[in-house]
């Protein structure tokens, strides 16, 4: 590890990454520091409000539409900003991390938008943080290429930026720190680092090329958190002399509490709002996390059985489309996570039909576009939305006035059909450990069993196990889910994992046990994994807390 250096009040502690001086200029660091200092206190207050809200839900207080913001919902006159250049047509959006190969593949994919992800599908190692910024700037300057060890070359095909998907960058959420950048000995907010560096270096580049600095905002839990992002946008534009309203943001509605404040979130960001997205996997995780101690009414079946046709998911997506179109914003559908395998045409055929059915439902419900995880899925999603949209760029004019705001519908968890199975438990263990192992090696998007898994699906895996144990859930075979039984299954599944030199499976298992079998429930598994286990090649992970022996843990639970 390099000796720490301090520039413009920010101490850099990460191992040197080639070309990092191009990103971490004195002016860029000053810009990021000013954004962080202006928002750090309010950010911390909002994170504390999250915990207060979770405690209230645990006490039995169900979320509901806010009385204090009723006037915003009932005022039909306000609209979000006009659609920005490059965001008029979003019928197919491809998502993925900002590594060099994925950047090229995404921009060559034929999608309308690329979600350049520095959040759930990107491990926040210092090298990834810096290289992600470099890759985005290199792509905008058309100087990006990549050659594999086998000699395969990747290059951009479009002649100019407007020939390629519009870039919408996703920074980290409010809860995640950047431990390699410190002010007064404390880490900066990871989201401010990601947003600030990208905006500082690329806002003018994007404007000059007929686009703009556009963002996806993750993990928002209330309209107050959206207001803080709006404050960041206003300050950032003022500091760099960028006209107000140039930034556009699409908010992921991926928490159960945000679902009750969708119009308010659009209102807070209205001069910068582009739309909302149905972040299905994190949304399911949020439901489990918030209601994990509320008994059988909130216990979901196996993850694979929680589909978008479940009553609470239908209520969520239909109300999202209504909220967006009522306010002139776009509604973007959820992820198709299937990864095609050209060696298994029969598997591909079945999966492609499932993707087609999913996208057909979304287009029919009024969504203006949807996400895919792989370039081979772009033609399928495009064909579906083409059949509905035709020559129109979107269907924002479809108001969905047939949908009524329904707070009870959002909480109809008990209406979800399905069962808890031993197979589901084993799958959660396998996916959870395999994903965390990949994450620890710097790969935040992992192909597991023909699906692209990211942090959200790992969160579902571990939170379901935690909830099933603490709810004394019963499988379809009549087996009570206990910690002892899960540990037996974990041993069996762990022994099946494909080990290799340099793997991080032992660490991954330790993390998985902590976040799924511990008495405490960490709000996000990425926080302890990042703070205690994630390290660059010449850094040492911090000393880890040893998991409690099972006997002590069982006594504590009792």
Q: Which residues are catalytic?
A: 170, 454
Asked if residues 33 and 10 have their Cβ atoms less than 8 Å apart, the reply is yes
Q: What's the rounded Cα separation, in Å, for the pair 103 and 97?
A: 7
Helix (H, G, I), strand (E, B) or coil at 554: helix
End-to-end C-alpha distance for the chain, whole angstroms:
45
* Structure tokens belonging to residue 31: 């810009």
Q: What's the rounded Cα separation, in Å, for the pair 307 and 456?
A: 15
Q: What's the rounded Cα separation, in Å, for the pair 126 and 538?
A: 12
Cα-based angle 424, 428, 429 (whole degrees, multiple of 5): 120
CB proximity list for 541: less than 8 A, separation 6 or greater = 507, 532, 533, 534, 535
Handedness of CA 96, 87, 79, 372 (dihedral sign): negative
Q: Would you give the distance in Å from CA 336 to the centre of its chain?
A: 14
Q: What's the rounded Cα separation, in Å, for the pair 134 and 429?
A: 35
* Structure tokens belonging to residue 365: 């419900």
Helix (H, G, I), strand (E, B) or coil at 255: coil
Q: Which of 337, 544, 362, 365 is nearest to 431 (CA)?
A: 337
Asked if residues 101 and 146 have their Cβ atoms less than 8 Å apart, the reply is yes
List % helix, strand, coil for the chain (3-state, nearest 5).
Answer: 50, 15, 40
In terms of phi and psi (left: phi > 0; alpha: psi -120 to 50; beta: otherwise), the region of 479 is beta
In 266-366, DSSP assigns E strands to 273-278, 330-336
The DSSP code for 184 is: T
Q: Would you give the distance in Å from CA 74 to the centre of its chain?
A: 30
Helix (H, G, I), strand (E, B) or coil at 188: strand
What would the DSSP string read from start to end of 68-122? GGHHHHH-TT---PPPPTT-S--SEEEEEE-SHHHHHHHHTS--SEEEEESSTTS
CB proximity list for 284: less than 8 A, separation 6 or greater = 300, 303, 306, 313, 460
In 4-25, which ranges are continuous DSSP H helix?
Answer: 20-23
Asked if residues 443 and 457 have their Cβ atoms less than 8 Å apart, the reply is no
Asked if residues 481 and 420 have their Cβ atoms less than 8 Å apart, the reply is yes
Q: What's the rounded Cα separation, in Å, for the pair 120 and 143?
A: 26
Which residue in this structure is represented by tokens 């809200």? 53
* Structure tokens belonging to residue 408: 């009870």
Q: What's the rounded Cα separation, in Å, for the pair 10 and 32?
A: 9
């Amino acid at each position: 590890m390099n000796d720490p250096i301090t520039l413009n009040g920010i101490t850099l502690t990460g191992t040197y990454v080639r070309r990092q001086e191009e990103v971490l200029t004195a002016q860029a660091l000053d810009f990021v520091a000013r954004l962080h200092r202006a928002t750090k206190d309010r950010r911390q207050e909002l994170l504390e409000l999250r915990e207060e809200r979770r405690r209230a839900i645990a006490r039995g207080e169900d979320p509901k539409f806010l009385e204090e913001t009723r006037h915003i919902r009932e005022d039909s006159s306000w609209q979000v900003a006009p659609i920005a250049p490059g965001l008029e047509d979003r019928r197919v959006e491809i998502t993925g991390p900002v590594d060099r190969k994925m950047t090229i593949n995404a921009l060559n994919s034929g999608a309308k938008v690329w979600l350049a992800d520095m959040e759930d599908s990107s491990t926040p190692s210092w090298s990834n943080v810096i290289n992600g910024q470099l890759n985005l700037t290199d792509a905008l300057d058309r100087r990006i290429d990549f050659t594999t060890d086998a000699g395969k070359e990747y290059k951009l095909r479009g002649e100019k930026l407007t020939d390629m998907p519009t870039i919408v960058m996703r920074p980290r959420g409010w809860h995640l720190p950047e431990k390699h950048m410190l002010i007064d000995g404390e880490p900066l907010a990871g989201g401010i680092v990601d947003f600030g560096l990208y905006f500082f270096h690329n806002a003018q580049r994007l404007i000059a090329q007929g686009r703009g600095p556009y963002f996806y905002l993750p993990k928002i839990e209330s309209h107050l958190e959206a207001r803080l992002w709006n404050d960041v946008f206003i300050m950032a534009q003022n500091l760099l002399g960028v006209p107000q309203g140039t930034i556009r943001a699409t908010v992921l509605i991926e928490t159960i509490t945000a679902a009750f404040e969708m119009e308010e979130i659009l209102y807070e960001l209205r001069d910068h709002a582009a739309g909302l997205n149905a972040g299905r996997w994190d949304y399911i995780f949020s439901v489990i996390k918030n209601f994990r101690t509320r008994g059988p009414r909130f216990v979901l079946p196996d993850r694979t059985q929680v589909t978008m046709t479940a009553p609470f998911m239908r209520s969520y997506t239909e109300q999202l489309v209504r909220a967006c179109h009522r306010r002139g914003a776009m509604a973007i559908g959820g992820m198709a996570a299937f990864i095609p395998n050209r060696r298994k045409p029969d598997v591909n055929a079945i999966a492609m039909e499932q993707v087609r059915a999913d996208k057909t439902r979304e287009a029919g419900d009024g969504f203006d576009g949807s996400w895919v995880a792989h370039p081979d899925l772009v033609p399928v999603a495009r064909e579906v939305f083409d059949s509905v949209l035709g020559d129109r760029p979107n269907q924002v004019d479809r108001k969905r006035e047939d949908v009524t705001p329904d707070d009870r519908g959002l909480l109809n968890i008990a209406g979800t059909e399905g069962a808890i199975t031993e197979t589901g438990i084993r799958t959660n263990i396998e996916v959870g450990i395999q994903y965390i192992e990949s994450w620890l090696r710097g790969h935040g998007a992992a192909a597991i069993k023909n699906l692209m898994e990211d942090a959200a699906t790992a969160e579902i895996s571990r939170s379901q196990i935690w909830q099933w144990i603490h709810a004394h859930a019963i499988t379809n075979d009549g087996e009570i889910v206990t910690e002892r039984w899960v540990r037996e299954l974990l041993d069996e599944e762990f022994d099946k994992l494909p080990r290799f030199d340099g793997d991080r499976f032992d660490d991954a298992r330790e993390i998985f046990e902590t976040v799924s079998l511990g008495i405490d429930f960490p709000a996000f598994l990425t926080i302890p994994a990042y703070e205690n286990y994630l390290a660059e090649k010449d850094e040492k992970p911090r000393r880890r807390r040893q998991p409690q022996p099972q006997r002590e843990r069982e006594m504590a639970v009792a």
